């Protein structure tokens, strides 16, 4: 009995202690209501609102907080009491169950009274910056735009389901604990099949090269230019004969005349007609480089460098001499460069330093139909340059028939059509929709390899995961084939390519397979435009691709799989007819091509986060975004949410102007580094913990590369780290 009393006393004292500590914690909570009602970190539109505002409160509004406390004070009391009761019941319940305390009645369920069923919604009284109070309209596009034609179509449903084969391979790899990156496979069986020789880890830490602009690629050795071999294309013909065979050659004079007479011209031509490689040379030969250089933009890095390589060969000059290229982390141009291929992002950055692009006499915007974010911003900027500089020419080229749109944007400029194509491409559609397009692609590739005529294969998939799984499945099936037959099986050289793969491994796709072997390139849409891979006669097009889509409710971009557009499908097919007649196997029906695919992709500017664009335009002193000439205006929600994020980060002030921090965030970092990370890196500098912060940013940044050494000076710290070297994909 005495024992029982002691126990019950100690229990009582513990309960008292607990209650007082609870009260203490509630007192703290009461002075910090944001702990009770967590502020939303992203501008989620409030569906329930007590005010006219659409956005959540900026969470450092302390006046708003104290009003809020008094308003909800009674609710806090209520919830405190409830918590105490529940806590007490729980404690008793535990003691009784453990046998430490005996009672007559054990409550196994706590009463749920009516009150507890109530859901209490706390709605912040939002203070928005004046420029986002809804009175200013930033765009003519009120609605969000879906990057898909019909969300219920077969292709859309399949794209959401994903591939069963990929899942199966993942499971298998997880079980085997052997899931590795391709460049870590050196020496392994799969590595041998794939022809992977060395790992990125072998990169020498001491040879890191810091670029002039302060940007460092710690895979300096993995530069494209050091790994490109001279093309083996059509050895039977000289380069000048090959040039003369191209459709563009026959219309050269008319084309030059149209360009002479007009400041802006839109040029439309089939894939392989010679737009990318020939136009720059014609303009150079015609003398357009007398007062400046010719710039040609490409939406993708691999295209910029491979085309520059080809043109330098055609002009019999070293790459980087007369013809060069500039992509992020790599500038292969020199003082005598007159033709410069570059990504559109590189040109966009140049406009910040030189708004009139004085060093260029002419810009060619190639593959304009891709409508990347950078291309669309460039359209608006270059339109202004054209108006300011009468000596400046702008050529817009596209493979699709949307020339009218480009022409109208520049005020009804002429459209020049290049007739014909170099080689025929036979198109074969699937008779029924493919439930698992990865499995179908593997089967099709094996069928071609076993039974098809010579010629290399190019498979289009959506991303790294699918590519790795496909390479794995292909190598497995090759092994099975070899072990199940006594006949000699020709070698299949399987080569993956996606943007995160190191440049030296990407460049492998241009190397010729050894005699008797067939090359099978497994690619994302980075191999879709402008690329000529010598020997590709078969294309397998799954019909899907990944697209970055902004979710304004989450305030983030997400990569999602969608059916591609008809324009992209034509581009993919076009990769088969570059150096000879080819065949394209489409793993979707003809009806899907006609009815389930958009004619051209939804412009990136209408579906992604615009934080970078807003920063850039503000840096270019464009205060009112409505004043900027967008070919297709971005949706209102995207602009508002992006501006709201910038304001929260302190990049914009209360009237929507760029702050000093915002200017730094724009000028000191690469465009594809997320704006939030830029701020963290800048803050790291002020708090003298930059090394650590930079390391964190590096580890979580999209490409795992350090963006700006001016800001850091810490390269060697993490450059030596294996983790980071691996991250430097
Ligand atoms: N690296 C290369 N090796 C061999 N031949 C090449 C190479 N690059 C280009 N060619 C030849 O030049 C032709 C024209 O290529 P180019 O890239 O200029 O065409 P395009 O009209 O721009 O096509 P696209 O719109 O698909 O980019 C190709 O079809 C091919 O025959």
pLDDT digits (tens, 9 = 90+) for 5-16: 555 555 555 555
The residues, ordered by sequence, that sit 6+ positions from 31 with a Cβ below 8 Å of its Cβ are 69
- Report, as an integer, the average pLDDT of 268-288: 94
pLDDT of residue 447: 94
Cα 541 to averaged position of ligand 1 atoms, centre (Å): 20
Cα 531 to averaged position of ligand 1 atoms, centre (Å): 7
Query: How many angstroms separate the CA atoms of 70 and 175, rounded?
Result: 57
DSSP 8-state code for residue 624: -
> In a mutational test of the pocket of ligand 1, which residue from 228, 247, 248, 274 has the highest number of ligand atoms less than 8 Å from its CB?
274
Residue range 234-251, pLDDT digits in tens: 556 788 888 998 999 999
Given a cut of 80, is residue 597 above it in pLDDT? yes
Given a cut of 80, is residue 4 above it in pLDDT? no
Cα 459 to averaged position of ligand 1 atoms, centre (Å): 19
Cα 712 to averaged position of ligand 1 atoms, centre (Å): 41
* 393 phi, psi to nearest 5 deg: -115, 145
More confident residue, 252 or 104: 252
The Cα-based distances of 677 to 654, 693, 695 in angstroms read: 22, 9, 11
Under 8 Å between Cβ of 665 and 651: yes
- Report, as an integer, the average pLDDT of 642-650: 84
Ranges 9-13, 365-369, 619-623, most confident: 365-369
Query: How many angstroms separate the CA atoms of 682 and 678, rounded?
Result: 6
Query: How many angstroms separate the CA atoms of 289 and 391, rounded?
Result: 12
Residue range 526-570, pLDDT digits in tens: 898 878 888 899 999 999 999 988 876 666 788 889 999 999 999
Q: Distance from CA of residue 627 to its chain's centroid?
A: 27
Cα 534 to averaged position of ligand 1 atoms, centre (Å): 10
Residue range 116-147, pLDDT digits in tens: 567 776 665 556 777 776 666 666 666 677 78
Residue range 22-32, pLDDT digits in tens: 433 333 333 32
More confident residue, 569 or 638: 569
The region, left, alpha or beta by phi > 0 then psi within -120 to 50, assigned to residue 188 is beta
> In a mutational test of the pocket of ligand 1, which residue from 578, 580, 581 has the highest number of ligand atoms less than 8 Å from its CB?
578
Burial of 125 per CB tally in 10 Å (0-12, 13-18, 19+): middle
- Report, as an integer, the average pLDDT of 372-385: 92
* 296 phi, psi to nearest 5 deg: -130, 120
**Helical pair 636-649 and 611-619, crossing angle rounded to 10 deg:** 70
Return the structure tokens found at 472: 């794995």
Which ligand 1 atom minimizes the distance to the CA of 422? 29
The residues, ordered by sequence, that sit 6+ positions from 583 with a Cβ below 8 Å of its Cβ are 425, 426, 427, 428, 537, 538, 539, 576
Q: Distance from CA of residue 17 to its chain's centroid?
A: 54
DSSP 8-state code for residue 319: B
pLDDT of residue 675: 66
Under 8 Å between Cβ of 376 and 632: yes
Which ligand 1 atom minimizes the distance to the CA of 310? 1
Residue range 412-443, pLDDT digits in tens: 999 999 987 778 899 999 999 999 999 999 99
- Sheet of 323-327, strands arranged across: 330-332, 323-327, 339-343, 293-298, 360-365, 393-398, 264-269, 415-418
Which ligand 1 atom minimizes the distance to the CA of 577? 29
CA nearest ligand 1 atom 4, residue: 233
pLDDT of residue 198: 42
The model's confidence at residue 524, banded by pLDDT at 50, 70 and 90, is: very high
Per-residue DSSP letters for 463-504?
SHHHHHHHHHHHHHHHHHHHHH-SS----EEEEEE-TTS-HH
Return the structure tokens found at 33: 């209501």
Given a cut of 50, is residue 74 above it in pLDDT? no
**What pTM did the predictor assign?**
0.70
Cα 429 to averaged position of ligand 1 atoms, centre (Å): 25
- Report, as an integer, the average pLDDT of 695-720: 42
pLDDT of residue 714: 37
Query: How many angstroms separate the CA atoms of 162 and 526, rounded?
Result: 20
pLDDT of residue 247: 92
Given a cut of 60, is residue 108 above it in pLDDT? no
CA nearest ligand 1 atom 10, residue: 532
The region, left, alpha or beta by phi > 0 then psi within -120 to 50, assigned to residue 489 is beta
Cα 529 to averaged position of ligand 1 atoms, centre (Å): 10
* 38 phi, psi to nearest 5 deg: -65, 130
Cα 240 to averaged position of ligand 1 atoms, centre (Å): 14
pLDDT of residue 139: 67
3-state class percentages of the chain: helix first, strand second, coil last, to nearest 5? 45, 15, 40
Under 8 Å between Cβ of 416 and 569: no
pLDDT of residue 609: 82
DSSP 8-state code for residue 289: T
Cα 305 to averaged position of ligand 1 atoms, centre (Å): 13
CA nearest ligand 1 atom 11, residue: 578
Residues paired with 550 in a beta bridge: 557
Cα 230 to averaged position of ligand 1 atoms, centre (Å): 14
Task: Assign 3-class secondary structure to 351-415.
Answer: HHHCCCCCCEEEEEECCHHHCCHHHHHHHHHHHHHHHHCCCCEEEEEECCCCHHHHHHHCCCCCE
Query: Closest Cα to residue 533, out of 238, 318, 729, 271?
Result: 271
More confident residue, 628 or 541: 541
- Report, as an integer, the average pLDDT of 205-209: 34
Cα 274 to averaged position of ligand 1 atoms, centre (Å): 6
Return the structure tokens found at 441: 């692609």
pLDDT of residue 462: 95
Interface ipTM: 0.97
Radius of gyration of the chain (CA): 31
Return the structure tokens found at 459: 């498979």
Which ligand 1 atom minimizes the distance to the CA of 245? 31
More confident residue, 180 or 729: 180
Cα 537 to averaged position of ligand 1 atoms, centre (Å): 14
Query: How many angstroms separate the CA atoms of 327 and 321, rounded?
Result: 16
Of 299-303, 304-308, 639-643, 689-693, least confident by mean pLDDT is: 689-693
Cα 428 to averaged position of ligand 1 atoms, centre (Å): 23
> In a mutational test of the pocket of ligand 1, which residue from 240, 277, 339, 367 has the highest number of ligand atoms less than 8 Å from its CB?
277
CA nearest ligand 1 atom 5, residue: 233
Query: How many angstroms separate the CA atoms of 667 and 658, rounded?
Result: 12
pLDDT of residue 294: 97
Helix (H) or strand (E) run with residue 64 in it: helix 62-98
Under 8 Å between Cβ of 467 and 496: yes
Ligand 1 binding residues, C-beta < 6 A = 231, 233, 246, 269, 271-278, 310, 399, 422, 529-530, 532, 534, 574, 578-579
Coil, helix or strand for 324?
strand
Which ligand 1 atom minimizes the distance to the CA of 530? 27
Query: How many angstroms separate the CA atoms of 456 and 227, rounded?
Result: 20
CA nearest ligand 1 atom 27, residue: 530
pLDDT of residue 640: 81
- Report, as an integer, the average pLDDT of 593-606: 91
The model's confidence at residue 221, banded by pLDDT at 50, 70 and 90, is: very low
Which ligand 1 atom minimizes the distance to the CA of 578? 29
pLDDT of residue 65: 38
The model's confidence at residue 459, banded by pLDDT at 50, 70 and 90, is: very high
The Cα-based distances of 474 to 190, 321, 446, 459 in angstroms read: 10, 41, 8, 12
Diameter of the chain by CA atoms?
112
The model's confidence at residue 323, banded by pLDDT at 50, 70 and 90, is: very high
Q: What percent of the chain is modeled with pLDDT above 70?
A: 64
> In a mutational test of the pocket of ligand 1, which residue from 244, 270, 276, 535 has the highest number of ligand atoms less than 8 Å from its CB?
276
Given a cut of 80, is residue 83 above it in pLDDT? no
Residue whose pair of structure tokens reads 């065979």 in the numeric block = 245
* 647 phi, psi to nearest 5 deg: -65, -45
Average pLDDT score, the chain: 74
The residues, ordered by sequence, that sit 6+ positions from 483 with a Cβ below 8 Å of its Cβ are none
The model's confidence at residue 685, banded by pLDDT at 50, 70 and 90, is: low
Which ligand 1 atom minimizes the distance to the CA of 303? 27
The residues, ordered by sequence, that sit 6+ positions from 616 with a Cβ below 8 Å of its Cβ are 348, 352, 377, 666, 671
Which ligand 1 atom minimizes the distance to the CA of 248? 21
> In a mutational test of the pocket of ligand 1, which residue from 272, 417, 584 has the highest number of ligand atoms less than 8 Å from its CB?
272
The model's confidence at residue 67, banded by pLDDT at 50, 70 and 90, is: very low
pLDDT of residue 690: 54
Which ligand 1 atom minimizes the distance to the CA of 418? 21
Under 8 Å between Cβ of 550 and 556: yes
Residues paired with 585 in a beta bridge: 428, 540
Query: How many angstroms separate the CA atoms of 77 and 85, rounded?
Result: 13
The residues, ordered by sequence, that sit 6+ positions from 137 with a Cβ below 8 Å of its Cβ are 626, 636
Of the chain, the end-to-end C-alpha distance in Å amounts to: 71
CA nearest ligand 1 atom 12, residue: 274
Query: How many angstroms separate the CA atoms of 646 and 566, rounded?
Result: 36
Under 8 Å between Cβ of 311 and 379: no
Of 180-194, 603-617, 651-665, least confident by mean pLDDT is: 180-194
The region, left, alpha or beta by phi > 0 then psi within -120 to 50, assigned to residue 287 is left
- Report, as an integer, the average pLDDT of 501-525: 87
Return the structure tokens found at 661: 């921090």
Q: Distance from CA of residue 268 to its chain's centroid?
A: 27
CA nearest ligand 1 atom 18, residue: 274
CA nearest ligand 1 atom 8, residue: 532
Which ligand 1 atom minimizes the distance to the CA of 274? 18
CA nearest ligand 1 atom 30, residue: 578
- Report, as an integer, the average pLDDT of 168-173: 86
The residues, ordered by sequence, that sit 6+ positions from 488 with a Cβ below 8 Å of its Cβ are none
- Report, as an integer, the average pLDDT of 304-320: 94
């Amino acid at each position: 009995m005495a024992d029982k009393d002691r126990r019950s006393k100690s229990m009582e004292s513990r309960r008292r202690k607990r209650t007082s500590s609870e009260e203490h914690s509630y007192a703290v909570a009461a002075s910090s209501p944001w702990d009770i009602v967590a502020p939303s970190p992203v501008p989620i539109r409030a569906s329930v609102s007590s005010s006219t505002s659409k956005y959540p409160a900026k969470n450092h509004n302390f006046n708003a907080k104290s009003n809020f406390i008094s308003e909800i004070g009674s609710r806090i009391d209520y919830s405190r009491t409830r918590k105490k009761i529940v806590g007490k019941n729980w404690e008793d319940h535990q003691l009784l169950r453990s046998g430490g305390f005996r009672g007559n009645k054990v409550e196994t369920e706590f009463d749920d009274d009516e009150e507890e069923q109530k859901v209490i919604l706390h709605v912040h009284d939002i203070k928005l910056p004046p420029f986002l109070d809804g009175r200013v309209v930033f765009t003519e596009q009120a609605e969000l735009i879906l990057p898909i034609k019909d969300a219920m179509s077969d292709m859309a449903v399949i794209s959401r389901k994903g591939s069963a084969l990929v899942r199966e391979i993942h499971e298998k790899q997880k079980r085997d604990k052997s899931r590795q990156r391709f460049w870590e496979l050196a020496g392994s069986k799969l590595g041998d099949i794939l022809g992977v020789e060395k790992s990125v880890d072998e990169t020498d830490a001491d040879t890191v090269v810091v670029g002039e602009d302060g940007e460092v690629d710690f895979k300096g050795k993995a530069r494209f230019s050091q790994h490109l071999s001279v093309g083996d294309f059509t050895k039977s013909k000289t380069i000048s004969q090959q040039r003369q065979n191209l459709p563009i050659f026959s219309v050269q004079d008319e084309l030059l005349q149209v360009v002479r007479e007009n400041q802006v011209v839109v040029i439309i031509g089939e894939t392989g007609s010679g737009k990318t490689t020939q136009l720059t040379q014609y303009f150079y030969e015609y003398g357009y480089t007398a007062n400046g250089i010719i710039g040609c933009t490409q939406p993708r890095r691999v295209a910029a460098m491979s085309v520059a390589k080809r043109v330098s060969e055609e002009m019999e000059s070293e790459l980087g001499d007369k013809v060069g290229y500039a992509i992020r982390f790599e500038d292969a141009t020199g003082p005598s460069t007159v033709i410069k291929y570059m990504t559109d992002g590189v040109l966009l950055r140049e406009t910040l330093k030189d708004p009139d692009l004085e060093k260029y006499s002419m810009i060619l915007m190639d593959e304009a139909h891709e409508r990347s974010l950078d291309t669309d911003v460039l359209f608006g900027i270059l339109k202004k340059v054209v108006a300011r500089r009468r000596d400046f020419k702008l050529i817009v080229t596209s493979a699709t028939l949307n020339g009218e749109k480009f022409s109208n944007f520049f005020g009804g400029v002429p459209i020049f059509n290049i007739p014909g194509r170099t080689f025929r491409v036979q198109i074969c559609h699937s008779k029924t929709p493919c439930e698992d397009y990865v499995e179908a692609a593997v089967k099709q590739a094996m069928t071609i390899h076993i039974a098809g005529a010579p010629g290399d294969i190019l498979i289009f998939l959506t991303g790294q995961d699918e590519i790795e799984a496909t390479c794995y499945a292909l190598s497995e099936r090759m092994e099975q084939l070899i072990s199940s037959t006594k006949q000699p099986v020709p070698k299949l050289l399987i080569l993956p390519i996606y943007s995160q793969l190191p440049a030296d491994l990407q460049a492998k796709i241009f190397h010729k397979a050894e005699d008797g072997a067939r090359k099978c390139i497994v690619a994302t849409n980075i191999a879709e435009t402008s690329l000529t891979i010598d020997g590709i006669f078969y294309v397998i097009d799954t019909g899907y691709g990944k697209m970055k889509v902004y979710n304004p409710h989450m305030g983030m971009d997400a990569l999602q799989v969608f059916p591609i557009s008809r324009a992209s499908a034509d581009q993919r097919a076009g990769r088969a007819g570059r150096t000879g007649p080819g065949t394209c196997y489409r793993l979707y029906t003809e009806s899907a091509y006609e009815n389930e695919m958009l004619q051209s992709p939804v412009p990136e500017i209408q579906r992604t986060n615009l934080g970078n664009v807003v920063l850039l335009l503000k840096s270019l002193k464009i205060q009112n975004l409505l004043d900027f000439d967008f070919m297709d205006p971005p949706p209102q929600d995207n602009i508002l949410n992006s501006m709201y994020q910038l304001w929260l980060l302190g990049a914009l002030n209360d009237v929507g102007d760029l702050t000093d921090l915002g200017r730094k965030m724009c000028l000191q970092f690469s465009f594809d580094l997320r704006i939030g990370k830029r701020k963290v890196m800048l803050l790291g500098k002020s708090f003298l913990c930059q090394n650590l912060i930079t390391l964190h940013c590096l580890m979580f940044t999209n490409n795992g590369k350090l963006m700006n050494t001016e800001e850091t000076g810490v390269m060697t710290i993490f450059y030596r780290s294996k983790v980071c070297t691996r991250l430097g994909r």
